[in-house]
Copies of this chain bind each other. A is one copy, B any other.
Amino acid sequence: MTGTPLSRSEAKDLTRRRLIRAAFAILDEEGEAGLTTVKVARAAGIAQSSFYVHFKDRQDLLRALGDQAGERLRATMREARRRAHETPDDGERHRDTFRIPLEAIRRHPELFRIGLRARHDPSSPLQDFAVESSAAYRAHLAADLAAMGFPTGTERDRRRLEMIADGINALTNAMAVGHLEGRYPDLEEVVDVLVAFSKGYLWLLRPPRRPLSETE
């Protein structure tokens, strides 16, 4: 029943991980307002004052949460790139573009919800992290689109690309929220809709009607 006897540092590390896990759960269920040292410590099974053995203060915990969330996010993006590279370049790869982020969100819904919330909350110490993450994701998508042949010559071109990337991100998030709330149970239906929307911006890619002969 009782496992291996743990060394002191192992036990401390375990407690720290329990605290972080508890903090994520509370943040997800009750929001920023519910995240107190009292609740986190109790959920992790230690005294409130012992919280300070592991974190300098409340802010320090938030920083650790941001770090961990960032690490998972980066791992997810690496994984997505890897899988996209493996998929054959037919219709299925295009669907994968949407399916992979959705599956990543489903794997860590609490991280997704926390990020979504922090993104627009000026009182959240995680806001900077969320804003940077979404900007990074936007840039990542915009680069992919540029690689597909979207024009990036003018400032206006680049802005439009960023808007499209922003839109794809927003669409994906909205569908993910609907899926997590149970409104869209079937992920393949979700991917169908995202593919439908994508036909719109892909239309911008089609060969220019004017073969660059006019004066301007």
A residues near B, CB below 8 A? 29-34, 113, 116-117, 120-124, 156, 159-160, 162-164, 166-167, 169-171, 173-175, 177-178, 183-184, 189-190, 192-193, 196-204
Contact = CB atoms under 8 A, between A and B. Distances in A.
Nearest to A120: B117
A173 B177 CA distance: 15
Contacts of A117: 117, 120-121
A184 B199 contact: no
A184 B159 contact: yes
Number of copies: 2
A169 B174 contact: yes
A159 B29 CA distance: 27
B189 A199 contact: no
A123 B193 contact: no
B193 A203 contact: no
A170 B159 contact: no
A190 B156 CA distance: 11
A4 to B, nearest CB: 38
Contact of A173 (B160, B170, B183): B170
Contact of A201 (B121, B160, B200): B200
Sorted from nearest, which 6 A-B pairs have the closest CB atoms? A200-B200, A31-B123, A170-B174, A33-B123, A199-B200, A197-B200
A31 B190 contact: no
Given A116-B120, A123-B30, A196 B189 contact: no
15 contacts: A30-B123, A31-B121, A33-B33, A116-B120, A120-B177, A121-B121, A159-B184, A160-B189, A160-B193, A163-B190, A164-B193, A164-B197, A167-B175, A167-B197, A196-B203
Contact of A122 (B31, B164, B178): B31
Given A31-B122, A200-B203, 6 more contacts: A113-B120, A117-B117, A163-B189, A163-B193, A196-B200, A200-B201
